Chain A
Amino acid sequence: MANLSIDHWVRIKDGKIIADGEVIFASEADIASFLKAAFKFLNIKYPKFHKMDRLSKLGFIASETVMKEEAEISEDTALVFSNNSSSLASDQNYQESIKNFPSPSLFVYTLPNIVLGEISIRFGLKSENVFFIEDEFNAKLLIDYSAQLIESAKANKVLCAWLNLHNVEYDVFLWLSSESHKKEITEEQIRKIYDADYD
């Protein structure tokens, strides 16, 4: 089985963005203000950001944070994402709109994998992409899947993520993997990063 390394990672929770162990951004935790402030912090021009739903915005901010550390972005970077709540927040918003006039722009986001499309568009990725619904963060699933993709040369890099938004509570852990010549990533290490507190 292919050995993987973590090239970069990002953790987003409680109003903080933590990149490779360092708190690079902190603001109010309330999701609406947080997303606005975090986007401003990224300092990029991408007006389409404002049309995205919250789940996609979180995924976008997380991937942007990690990908900007890359000198060159490979079109063959696969996306392996997962969460527990699917697209619940957007489902609720869209459902509300059905009462009077179903909104097409809200309907578009009633699928958890739309964020994969948004990230692909942003970075020009034409790679494999999948979205799993799991009870909780399942590091093994994501690591195994990534290893297989790299082993079978289906991708040379993999962006993995636990991207969960339950009502207004967000919990994001995203990392970029590539092949390593020595065994670097273990499930325990990944879990450690996920479980840690960053102050």
Chain B
Amino acid sequence: MSRSVAVTGMGIFSAIGKNLEENHRSLIHGKHGLSYPEILETVHQNLPIGEIKSTNSDLADALNLDKNHAFTRAALLGTIALKEALQNAKIEDFINIGFVNGNSVGGMDMTERFYREYESNPANRRFIQAQHPGFTTEQIAGYFGIDNYVTTISTACSSAANAVMLGARLIQSGRLDQVIVGGTDCLSRFTLNGFNSLMIYSEDFPKPFDSERKGLNLGEAAAYLVLESADFAKNKEVLGYVSGYGNANDAFHQTASSENGEGAYLAMQKALETANLNPHHIDYINAHGTATQNNDLSESRALIRIFKEMPAFSSTKSFTGHTLAAAGAIEAVFSLLAIKHQQIYPNLNFNSAISDTRLRPVTELKSTKIQHVLSNSFGFGGNCTSLIFSKDE
């Protein structure tokens, strides 16, 4: 690595907490955020989701927004999480800062509510332009006055992880000294129905890596990391380093992973290479672990191919649900919390291992020495990304 990439701040808003402290507390107490739809208006009342129990009004009030704002739910969550990250990193000047945001749902939550009436009723037309993911990014950036380098990555469930990767590259190549990276996505009928139609949605709480797993449960969240070059991070508390990253395409199917997890394997391998680490250096793996039949088996096989001795691993999606484009970011935050507090968070709802692979995740909070954490995010379209975070020594 030419220049090191330091993490100097983070912010998060998920179904297990409004900020870092709440999220951390939930993780150490094994308190998950899966529940049934209350705010999302859907007929699927029986499907568990990782819903944030705040209405859009609550969120808008917290941000002091004008009554006629055009912030969609993902933009609201993102802005709140970003606020925390910036405060954390003590950033006040945005002249040379970059912003790379992962988002897939865009403003679909508003579109699906209002599009039928757009023609006849002008009341909510301000949300028409809010449909696509780029607008969500601009809303969030606009709130803080960030406009130097702003872009949106939309690669499904690996979006935020790819944002972290791009941020790291921008710093390493000297193009920027400070970049905010992460992602945001909210629940919608669109995605709930979609995953249900693929028959990979679980009617029970998620059981990642369990032999009886029945599928994923969606969640909503936003999280951001502030990345800075060594010079800029000099007098700040460094939460960790982005020491490695890798991305590869599985080239197998639009939505399913290959049997031997080729894309995942290549992504992890590349991450280790860029970090100049060997598999045995990894102390904890925050797995993609969506709890679908397909992912968990495919990911397990890829892990076995890389790690002769399996490090401790868990899927925190058992706490938050699968937050789509935000997943790579909230899991980056959890990986950095693991480094900060030297602990491994459990994989909830696990009973028996997949017979083919016999891998057992960590099922209870564990205090242990952690120096390097590997975090996986694999998206539809075969987009596989792995990140490595390392402790500041």
B-binding residues in A (CB < 8 A): 79, 84-86, 88, 91, 94-95, 98, 101-104, 107-118, 120-121, 124-135, 141, 144-145, 148, 154
Contacts and interface: CB of A to CB of B under 8 A. Distances in A.
Given A120-B251, A126-B251, A86 B133 contact: yes
Contacts of A117: 249-251, 253-254, 380-383
B252 A129 contact: no
Contact of A129 (B134, B247, B255): B247
A113 B383 contact: yes
Contacts of A98: 189-190, 193
A86 B106 contact: yes
Given A113-B155, A126-B263, A126-B266, A108 B380 contact: yes
A interface secondary structure, majority: mixed
Given A117-B254, A126-B249, A130-B162, 10 more contacts: A79-B249, A86-B134, A95-B112, A111-B154, A113-B156, A117-B250, A130-B155, A133-B132, A133-B152, A133-B154
Nearest to A121: B251
A197 B194 CA distance: 40
Given A111-B154, A117-B383, A135-B134, A130 B196 contact: no
B194 A86 contact: no
Contacts of A102: 193-194, 196-197
Contacts of A126: 248-251, 262-263, 266
Nearest to A51: B254
Interface in B73-122: 103-104, 106, 108, 111-112, 115
B215 to A, nearest CB: 14
A111 B156 contact: yes
B166 interface: yes
A134 B194 contact: no
Nearest to A138: B151
A74 to B, nearest CB: 13
B197 A107 contact: yes
